[in-house]
A and B are shown apart, each in its own frame.
Chain A
Amino acid sequence: MVNLTIDNKRVKVPEGTTILKAALTAGVEIPTLCYLENLNEIGACRICCVEIEGKETLVASCNTKVEEGMVIYTSSPKAHYARRMNLQIILSQHDFRCAACHRNGSCSLQKLCADMNINDVPFKQDFEKSEWDLSFPFIRDAGKCIKCMRCVQICDKVQSLNVWDIVNTGKRTSVGLSKMRTITEADCSICGQCITHCPTGALHERDDVRKVMDAISDPDKIVVAQVAPAVRAAWGEGLKLPEEMATEKRMAAAIRALGVDYVFDTNFGADLTIMEEANEFVERMTHHTHYQWPMFTSCCPGWVRFVKSQYPAMTKQLSTAKSPQQMFGAVTKTYFAEKVLDVDPEKIFCVSIMPCTAKKAECALPNINDAGAGRDVDAVLTTREFDRMLRSELICPESLEEEEFDSPLGMGTGAGVIFGATGGVMEAALRTAYYILNKENPKPDAFKIVRGLDGVKEASVEIAGIPIKAAVVHGLGNTRKLIEKIQSGEAEYDFVEIMACPGGCSGGGGQPVTEGLEMAGERGKKLYALDESNPLRFSHENPSVIMLYKQYLEKPLSHKAHKLLHTNHMG
């Protein structure tokens, strides 16, 4: 243990503790800006600088370890002055037209400037000009980038895609695409983790709110909304709703209040995915030699983009089942239009609310639209856009009563809702695969071994005498490691679930940003609670899904199901 004094308070901390962490034990929260625990401890912004007695120069508290007998002042005149002036220096190269910024209200720099009482910038303002394809699912606004390097680090260290790099040197040092590529050439998975770890508005999703509002206000359009499982666990964060107010039923009411005609649930699409994917898996298992192994889940478009660019030869190992979003879209513009509403599917505008930025790219894939009425999904809003839309439409969820989702595509089971957490797809699929092979349900929690936030989870289960080796991975860095093990023969599996974002969709790149906190675990817990409280725990028991097969698709993997619900992923 090391003894030291921080702001006249004596503290004792383990050896190797940073000053930043040690200060917390003294009750002092030193402000940080570029710091991201374990990922970006580079002392670049110099906001966390503190004074050590007897030392001439200040040190960055985020990456300086404590020493015995240190006497530290976190807000001495020198440290305080440096903190303020370095903020002003940052502002001199930051486009601080905050009023017109995606991150207005959730920006770390903005908050820090307010906290530090910055009300003028004595320097000339000059910020970098942006060069960016504004049609891409996310945007980099160079004028707002403070070069904290978090995006570079998250993409390198967590996602292993090295999309970003430090470009140029000297005063023109900036962040850009690595290896002189453009964003479309950079093999970006569009996972959006760089966005959720950006402290400012330099990285943000392409805003499609206007497009959706235009459809809602078009009297000829029937607007059908689907909302992904993980959105219900996070939507309240961006609105600062108390947890007990941020229920899924109040979310349904809020979506309806936007003027949407039908409030449906991607949980339905998830249940449908399980019907197809679990049957596909059983089919592959019973014709083992016809296939390359393992079979990979295909519901995460970040992962699908990853495998297509990094390991193209493995693309055919993806389940051919479309993602819940796309299944939902295809069913909406066929079955729902024809059999339920009896309208021209061209009149339907299908919007999905997703925790994800890659979904914006998925719905635009050229060969994924099989309903024959434009795009199966017309627009994708992230959870953040959804929250902003509610605010701008003056919808105050606290004042809304809880409401039900609409029928029939608003019906989802507990197996569908856990799609939003790492391990959820695997667990839901195993529940139904068990039923297919044994003709009876397992205990709903029989496969809960695949839950949790470990980077790679493995499970060996036996269903009807068939041993199944399954693995669950989240985060693309973990994914790369696992795939390399599979390729080298070090690991062998039958079924692998992969989600690009750490924690799965709960930690998705389209979710609200809470500075310094990884929320995926908490949100995941909410989804498992919803699963537990749902009277229906098995996708094959979803009455709307059963009805869909009965009235329209016949059975899983039928010809019609193949046409609408499967893809070769070659788009």
Chain B
Amino acid sequence: MSRLSVISTDKVNSTTEKLMKEFSQRIIANPPGVCPVDMQLAFLKVCHAQTCGKCVPCRIGLGILEELLESVLDNTATMETLDLIEHTATNIKNSADCAIGFESARMVLAGFEGFKEDYISHVRDHQCTGTFEQPIPCVTLCPAHVDIPGYIALAGEGRCDDAVSLIRKDNPFPTACALICEHPCEARCRRNMIDDSINIRGIKHYVMDKANADTVPVPACAAPTGKKVAIIGGGPAGLTAAYFLQLMGHQTTVFEEKAQLGGMLRYGIPNYRFPRERLKEDIDAILSTGVEVRLNTYIGTDELNKINNTYNAIFIAIGAHAEKKLDLDGGDSGNVISAVDMLREIGDDDYPDFTGKRVLVVGGGNVAMDCARTAIRSNAKTVSIVYRRRKEDMTALPAEVEGAIAEGIELLTLKAPLRIEADKAGNAKALWVQPQIIGPVRGKRPAPRKANKPEERLECDIIIMAVGQDIISAPFEKAGIATRRGQLCADSSGALNRVGMYAGGDCVTGPATVIKAIAAGKVAAANIDEFLGFNHEISVDVEIPEPLLNDKIPCGRVNLGEKESWARKDNFEGIEYTMSDEEALQEASRCLRCDHYGCGVLRGGRQDKW
């Protein structure tokens, strides 16, 4: 035996490492709907296998917890067992020596708290509350429940027109989602168990480039019902509701305050991410169903009450277009711009000129990235993002942050804005910030606190405030619609407290994603149809290809390329490349077809209509 030795990787270790990595992938792909208590027990077994065995609570206690949980699942537990689980876990948390023990117990307690109903259901009814209603992970996690395995299979056969028709059954904004969807569908893709999630949005991007939305005809509308529905707001939620209600035979009128349709798709997302001509493809298709549009038409309290008399139902989808303000000294100085205002002007093709200017953007969300990247494209000399937390705490999509960095944008993190210093003319010339230290987790994120460092002065010519948006809900509140913290209170059907009035999208949820707004429009359309006394079905006549019999050998995921940063940062043209035919075919063939394999074939696999 030598006195010291170099660690070498043996087969056991390397295999274990590999399996651990695969295990974490499997956790990512945890199917929706499984029994939470059963999962808790499985976690606990992993935790217990990790114990070194030195200390009593961890070595023995975790085993006892396992048995108690097992008894809950085996229908032999009583309500007293649940108390014992809680006391045992609390004791392990309090008395274990290291994290292997106390963190295991903490997880049990968190689950006990979070899904106690399920524990009780097992004890009382001998059943868990888990359901198989939507067993396809991507379809379940897509707020609009788009038939993803279906359109991927169609794309794989080159049937892009059919793919567009299939997507439209649930979502009339296929192009928007192809380019800018946050793709929650990919999060738990079962393909993670083999290698990596399918590039679902990438495939959709390919589909929409092959079959532009305005070239694929929309389905025929049902016979006119004679009912009229007013839609307030021409963004994704409003236009989605309008599209489906038209298909159901109702006549809709969209009232849009601004000069053009699109809502945040136009007035929030810059052209380089979602070129306007592509937005027009979706909107033209939607309007081809016969939607009436009134642009530059503001609906306030009086107007709402007036249209309430002439329409059979109203859907409010006004979005969240008011700027949120930081209460900073000097906040009203010249050259302090709100993100909302800037993006709105760009929406109507009114681009700023920042030639030679030093620009600071305050905020860490997607809007902050949009503003920073817009500033760079408007000839700014320098652009920096000022954020009070760390880069990894930013709410913007990681790809957006990386894109900004690649375009030469500086991240100034852990700096909390204090005040704005103005010159004699009253124009901002510097932002004073207080350096922060990242601290304990509060809520879900680590919270920053004041660092023991002096204030800093960041010189600048322009400050763009991108710290969030608010909803202009006051006129609706005045009309008797209930609100909570500025958000309209719609129930899960979209209904408001006034009969015949519905709402959805950002004005109900606060600033969220386009696919959530689309889903809200779809839900509202169905429930407005019911409210009007109908039961129209939305369906599509597309035959889905049989699954391929590929052996599922691991294969890398095709990611979409972007234009080189030097070629993109001085213009507003689209920056994302699409897949080649070859890439799309390979990517589509990676899909595991959970609509056919696994429980998709048994329950809820495909909803042909809604």
Kindly list chain B residues whose C-beta atoms are within 8 Å of the C-beta of A208.
none
A170 to B132, Cβ gap below 8 A? Answer: no
- Complex: chain A residue closest to B600, CB-CB: A42
Residue A63 interfacial (CB < 8 Å)? yes
Question: Is A131 within 8 A of B601, CB to CB?
Answer: no
| Closest chain B CB from A141 CB (angstroms) | 16
Whether, in the assembled complex, B103 has its beta carbon less than 8 Å from a beta carbon of chain A, the answer is no
Closest CB-CB distance, B37 to chain A, in whole Å? 10
Of residues 312 through 352 on chain A, the ones whose CB sits less than 8 Å from some CB of chain B are none
Minimal beta-carbon separation of B554 from chain A (angstroms): 13
**A 46-74 binary contact with B (CB < 8 Å = 1; else 0):** 00000010011101000111010000000
Contact A44 B38 (CB under 8 A): no
- Asked if A41 is an interface residue, CB under 8 A from chain B, the answer is yes
Asked if A172 meets B73 with Cβ closer than 8 Å, knowing A166-B132, A180-B127, the reply is yes
Choose one: B128, B546, B602; the contact of A168 (CB below 8 Å).
B128
CB distance from B111 to the nearest CB of A (A): 15
Q: Is the CB of A172 within 8 A of B35?
A: yes
Residues 29-75 (chain B) with a chain A CB within 8 angstroms? 33-35, 38, 73-75
A396 in the interface (beta carbon within 8 A)? no
Please state if B602 and A67 are interface contacts (CB–CB under 8 Å): no
Q: List residues of chain A with CB within 8 A of the CB of B132.
A: 166, 169
Q: A42: which of B38, B126, B551, B602 is its contact (CB, 8 Å)?
A: B602
Contacting pair B33 A149 (CB below 8 A): no
* 0/1 interface trace, chain A 168-186, chain B, CB 8 Å (1 if under): 1111100010001000000
Q: Which residue of A lies closest to B35 (CB)?
A: A169
Min CB gap B384→A, angstroms: 50
Q: A547 near B: Cβ within 8 Å?
A: no
A95 CB → nearest B CB, Å: 17
A355 part of interface (Cβ distance < 8 Å): no
State in angstroms the CA–CA spacing of A466 and B228 once bound together: 45
A43 at the interface (CB under 8 A from B): yes
Nearest A residue to B125, CB-CB:
A180
Question: Of B125, B596, B602, which is within 8 A of A149 by CB?
Answer: B602
Residues of A within 8 A of B603 (CB): 166
Residues of B within 8 A of A169 (CB): 33-35, 38, 128, 130, 132
**In the complex, what residues of A have CB within 8 A of residue B549's CB?**
52, 55, 59, 64, 67
CA distance A131 to B549 in the complex (A): 41
Q: Check A44–B546 contact: CB distance below 8 A.
A: no
Asked if A55 and B35 make an inter-chain contact with CB atoms under 8 angstroms apart, the answer reads: no
User: What A residues does B34 contact at CB under 8 A?
Assistant: 169-170
Of A56, A57, A63, A167, the residue contacting B601 (CB under 8 A) is A63
* Beta-carbon contact of A55 and B126 below 8 Å: no
Residue in chain A with minimal CB distance to B553: A56
**List of A residues within 8 angstroms of B127 by Cβ:** 167-168, 176, 180
Interface positions, chain A 135-172, Cβ under 8 Å from B, are 149, 166-172
Taking a contact as CB atoms under 8 Å apart, the answer to whether A42 and B35 are in contact is no
Q: Which residues of B contact A57 (CB under 8 A)?
A: 551
Provide the residues of chain A in CB contact with B130, threshold 8 Å.
Answer: 168-169
Contacts of A170 in B (CB 8 A): 34-35, 38
User: By the criterion CB–CB under 8 Å, are B35 and A65 in contact?
Assistant: no
The residue of chain B having its C-beta at the shortest distance from the C-beta of A55 within the complex is B551
Nearest chain B CB to A181 CB, angstrom units: 10
A167→B128 CA distance, assembly (Å):
7
- Contact assessment for B601 and A43 in the assembled complex, using a CB-CB cutoff below 8 Å: yes
Q: B598 to chain A: closest CB distance in Å?
A: 10
Bound: A176/B132 CA distance, A: 13
Report how far A169 CA is from B596 CA in the complex, Å.
19
> A180 contacts which chain B residues (CB < 8 A)?
121, 125, 127
Candidate in B33, B38, B73, B602 with the most chain A CB atoms within 10 angstroms: B602
Report the Cα distance A57→B33, complex, angstroms. 27
Closest to B601 in A: A42
Chain B residues with CB under 8 Å of A41's CB are 601
B-side contacts of A131, CB under 8 Å: 75, 126
In the complex, what's the smallest C-beta–C-beta distance from B413 to chain A, in angstroms?
Answer: 42
A398 to B127, CA, bound (A): 50
Chain B hits for A166, CB < 8 A: 132, 602-603
| Docked pose: A41 CA to B546 CA in angstroms | 14
Chain A nearest CB from B515 CB (Å) reads: 27
Interface mask (B72-85 → A, CB under 8 Å = 1, otherwise 0): 01110000000000
B35: chain A residues at CB < 8 Å are 168-170, 172
Q: Are the CB atoms of A65 and B126 closer together than 8 Å?
A: no
Nearest B residue to A41 by beta-carbon distance?
B601
Return chain B residues, CB-CB under 8 Å to A56: 551
Centre residue among A43, A56, A168 by max chain B CB count within 10 A: A168
Complexed CA–CA distance, A129 and B128 (Å): 17
In the complex, A349 Cα to B473 Cα: how many Å?
Answer: 77
Contact with A along B538-577 (1 / 0, CB 8 A): 0000000010010100000000000000000000000000
- Name the distance in Å between B312's Cβ and chain A's nearest Cβ: 21
In contact, A172 and B38 (Cβ under 8 angstroms):
yes
Complex interface: chain B residues within 8 A of A168 (CB)? 35, 38, 127-128, 130
Q: Once the chains are docked, how many angstroms separate the CA of A67 from the CA of B549? A: 9
CB distance from A40 to the nearest CB of B (A): 8
* Contact between A65 and B551, CB atoms less than 8 A apart: no
Interfacial chain B residues near A44, Cβ < 8 Å: 602
CB distance from A155 to the nearest CB of B (A): 13
> Which residue in chain B gives the minimum CB-CB distance to A65?
B546
Q: Which residue of B lies closest to A43 (CB)?
A: B601
A42 to B605, CA, bound (A): 11
A166 vs B74: C-alpha distance when bound (angstroms): 17
Residues of A close to B74: CB separation below 8 A: 172
Q: Which of A59, A67, A167: most chain B Cβ within 10 A?
A: A167
Q: With the chains together, A170 CA to B40 CA distance in Å?
A: 12
Minimum C-beta distance from B552 to chain A (A): 8
A176–B34 alpha-carbon span in the complex (Å): 16
Cα distance A170–B549 when bound, in Å?
Answer: 26
Which of chain A's residues has its CB closest to B121's CB?
Answer: A180
Query: Which chain B residues lie closer than 8 Å to A59 at the CB level?
Result: 549
Return the CB mask of B122-148 against A: 1 if under 8 Å, else 0: 000111101010000000000000000
Q: Name which residue of chain B comes closest to A168, CB basis.
A: B128
Q: Mark A413-439, 1 if CB is under 8 A from B, else 0.
A: 000000000000000000000000000
Task: List chain A residues, Cβ under 8 A from B596.
Answer: 63
- Interchain nearest-CB distance for B169 vs A (Å): 22
Q: What residues of B have a CB within 8 angstroms of the CB of A64 in the complex?
A: 549
Closest residue of chain B to A165 (Cβ to Cβ) is B132
A56, A169, A171 pick with most chain B CB within 10 angstroms: A169
- State the CA gap A57–B75 with chains docked (Å): 37
Q: Restricting to A106-151, which residues have a CB under 8 Å from any CB of B? A: 129, 131, 149
Q: Smallest Cβ distance from A130 to chain B, in angstroms? A: 11
For residue A65, which residues in chain B have a CB less than 8 angstroms away from its CB?
546
CB nearest to A182 among chain B residues: B125
Bound CA span A42–B130, Å: 21
A177 CA / B170 CA spacing, docked (Å): 31
Closest to B552 in A: A57
Shortest C-beta distance, B115 to chain A (Å), equals 13
Within the assembled complex, what's the spacing in Å between the Cα atoms of A52 and B548? 13
How far, in whole Å, are A506 and B121 apart by their CA atoms in the complex? 41
Hey, which chain A residues are within 8 Å of B128, CB to CB?
Answer: 167-169
A416 to chain B, nearest CB (A): 43
User: Smallest Cβ distance from A74 to chain B, in angstroms?
Assistant: 16
Specify which chain A residues have a CB less than 8 angstroms from the CB of B125 in the assembled complex: 180
Q: Spell out A's residues near B (CB within 8 Å).
A: 41-44, 52, 55-57, 59, 63-65, 67, 129, 131, 149, 166-172, 176, 180
Task: Supply 18 further A-B pairs (C-beta < 8 A) apart from A41-B601, A67-B549.
Answer: A56-B551, A57-B551, A63-B596, A64-B549, A129-B75, A131-B126, A166-B132, A166-B602, A168-B35, A168-B128, A168-B130, A169-B130, A170-B38, A171-B38, A172-B73, A172-B74, A176-B127, A180-B121
4 tightest A-B contacts by CB?
A170-B38, A169-B35, A56-B551, A169-B34
A–B pairs, 12, beta carbons within 8 Å: A42-B602, A44-B602, A52-B549, A55-B551, A59-B549, A63-B601, A131-B126, A166-B602, A168-B35, A169-B34, A169-B132, A176-B127
